[in-house]
Structure 1
Amino acid sequence: MGDWLRYLTTERRGSAHTIEAYGRDLRQFLAFLAEHLGALPDLAALAQLGPRDFRAYQARRRTGGQGASSAARGLSSLRGFFRYLDRKGLVHNATALATRAPKRPHGVPRPLTQAAALNTIEEAGALADEAWIAARDEAVLTLLYGCGLRIAEALSLRRAAAPLRDMLRIVGKGNKERVVPVLPQVAARIEAYLRLCPHALPKDGPLFIGEKGGPLSPRVVQRNLERLRGALGLPDDATPHALRHSFATHLLGAGGDLRTIQELLGHASLTTTQRYTEVDTARLLAAYEDAHPRARRGE
């Protein structure tokens, strides 16, 4: 297992989060096989696993409360592991290579309204005891909403990226690079944070830091949003990622085309971006039902 994880790290350049998740998936699978087969499997046992064994593993995961997304990623991890063994000439198992995850339920992004997104950013600083932390929290949320970034992308920025110019280069999922435009409001918030920050920030260090000077944890941002939800009466799905959804949905509602939004979000497939058209359609139908006289009368 160690060789495979090192391969993912060095040759596939997987992120630390991805490597950790794949390692966890494989450990869970091997633990299941140790119980299922009565002993920890060797390479020969892995080669002889059949459809019933993989179905039993999937059934065990379902009874353990695993969601469809986690199940899909788990089976993707196993296929990657068996492909690695196959290329190395160690194990060939056609069943493992052909195993597919159950179809994921179709989900629709849940953005905030424009007013709620802006209010969330404005109120983010009210939770902090120190001015520089308030400015930092406002800057992070402005970046998520103003540029449509994932939280990991925002927190991976280096100090050398600031002051932000008109365009910002982002390294996203799978180490894929994209360029996003920077609104003046985003750059101004980050500059305000840097002016107040009491810590020396080396150019090659993180742009956003925690209270004690280390890299800012995503959990801190998530926890702040949880507190804001209660204070502002926001729904439970008002998370940092909801600001990214809001960015895309509001762009689409203002006339942005899907291809451009796809590039800005860094989606590999246009299909993923097309989910936002469903959000906009739902918004239009809600507006119709609220405003149209026949809809109000139920005619």
Structure 2
Amino acid sequence: MNLTQMCHFYFEYLQIERNYSRYTIESYQFVIEHFMNFMQEERISSFRDVSYPAVRLYLTQLHKEQLSRRTVARKVSTLRSFFRFLMREEYVKENPFMLASLPKKELTIPKFLYEEELEKLFHVSDLNTPLGQRNQALLELLYATGIRVSECCRLTMNDIDFTIGTILVHGKGKKQRYVPFGSFAHDALDTYIQNGRKTLLGKANDACNVLFLNSRGKALTTRGVRYILSEMIEKAALSIHISPHKLRHSFATHMLDQGADLRVVQELLGHEHLSTTQIYTHVSKEKLRSVYMTNHPRAH
């Protein structure tokens, strides 16, 4: 097989055997194509000919591009997995990326919204219109549950249980989890489903079981969600950037600030490793320090 065929074979493996999402596979594809461009520049015609010195040269090129340590680590990790697959298929004899050390990641504290900022957002939608009802339900649910935007767009009417106030979330790697939601999200969802959603659904020729619909009655996309949130920021006249992930960060941070157990937050967020959730404790520690420095008479 040539390089392109081998890559296609690998992407099929990620989709079928590993259950990776389309977004994850596309990111892998981008990294491998970037490395193949490097191979072409260095006149390396086969994956078998990739040596450790070639890998070192590639890492030097990444450094010259002034990429973050996190980005470099992700590229190395992706290519290491790819060559591990090539070894399994007996296409190469060794994995040159196994010798490459991953750069230590910078500790980036997640950005979140303060409760006062969120409060302004919760009052910008016109609840007398179908789109306003949808936007309110979308915002309330994202903040109430901390789910990813991709998970939100996959929700169907069957995934909501109003009797016990939970949603069934279809997460990464086809893993499922139940996440509760509170009274504000309950009321916003109920209003949207009973009124606005029916109006939007009437604009489409075919029935759609997806929870959140666009103005044409079709399933709302992740890009659509980001656009809606940007519009809400403009209406609230806030000079901040908002994304669905920032609402997820806000959910986790506020939960921990109010004393929630770290493992409970891990379960709600759908994190596989506790270490991924622990980054939010740094935000809480920073808040504790800020409150201390502001209020303790001998802090200064």
Q: Structure 1 length as normaliser, TM-score?
A: 0.86
Change over 3 Å in CA distance of 1:61–1:133 after alignment to 2: farther
One of 204, 222, 226 as aligned partner of 2:226:
222
Query: For structure 1, which segment, 137-146 or 231-240, has the greater mean C-alpha deviation from structure 2 after superposition?
Result: 231-240
Deviating above 6 A after TM superposition, structure 1's stretches of 4 or more consecutive aligned residues are 201-204
In structure 2, list runs of 5 or more residues that go unmatched: 1-6
Letter in 1 for 2:180: P
Q: Match of 1:19?
A: 25
* Equivalent position of 2:216 in the other structure: 212
- Give the TM-score of the pair, scaled to structure 2: 0.86
Q: Which residue of 1 aligns with 2:52?
A: 51
The worse-fitting range, judged by mean Cα deviation, of 53-62 and 248-257 is 53-62
Structure 1 alignment gaps of length 5 or more: none
Secondary structure at 2:91's aligned position in 1?
A: coil
Equivalenced residue count is 288
1:222-280 Cα offsets, whole Å, 9 max, x none, are: 23333444554646453221111111111112121111111111111212222222111
Q: Distance in 2 between matches of 1:98 and 1:204?
A: 50
Q: What's the % identity of the aligned pairs?
A: 31
What per-residue deviation string (whole Å, max 9, x for no partner) do you get for residues 89-144 of structure 1?
11122322343432211111222122222322332x25x9x811111111111111
Counterpart Cα distance in 2 of 1:151 and 1:223: 12
1:268 aligns with 2:299: no
Partner of 2:109: 108
**Could you tell me which amino acid in structure 2 is paired with residue 155 of structure 1?**
C
Distance 2:218 2:122 in 1: 23
Checking the alignment, whether the CA contact within 8 Å between 1:206 and 1:215 is kept in structure 2 is yes
SS of the residue aligned with 1:169?
strand
1:151 Cα deviation after fit: 1.1
Which shifted more, 230-239 or 256-265?
Answer: 230-239
1:133 aligns with 2:131: yes
The 3-state SS of whatever aligns with 2:287 is: helix
Pairing 1:23-102 to 2, within 5 Å after superposition? 23-37=29-43, 41-42=45-46, 46-102=47-103
* SS of aligned partner of 2:122: helix
Could you tell me which amino acid in structure 2 is paired with residue 179 of structure 1? Y
CA distance in 1, matches of 2:133, 2:122: 10
CA RMSD of aligned residues (A): 2.4
How far 1:163 moved relative to its partner? 5.4
Instruction: Decide whether aligned partners of structure 1 residues 21 and 189 sit closer, same or farther in structure 2, where only a CA change above 3 A counts.
Output: same
Q: Which residue of 221, 238, 245 corresponds with 1:241?
A: 245
Equivalent position to 2:16, from 10, 29, 35: 10
- Specify the alignment match of 2:3 in structure 1: none
Distance 2:183 2:139 in 1: 14
What's the counterpart of residue 146 of structure 1? 144
Q: Compared with structure 1, are the counterparts of its residues 85 and 117 closer, same or farther at alpha carbon in structure 2 (3 Å cutoff)? A: same
CA distance in 1, matches of 2:214, 2:254: 30
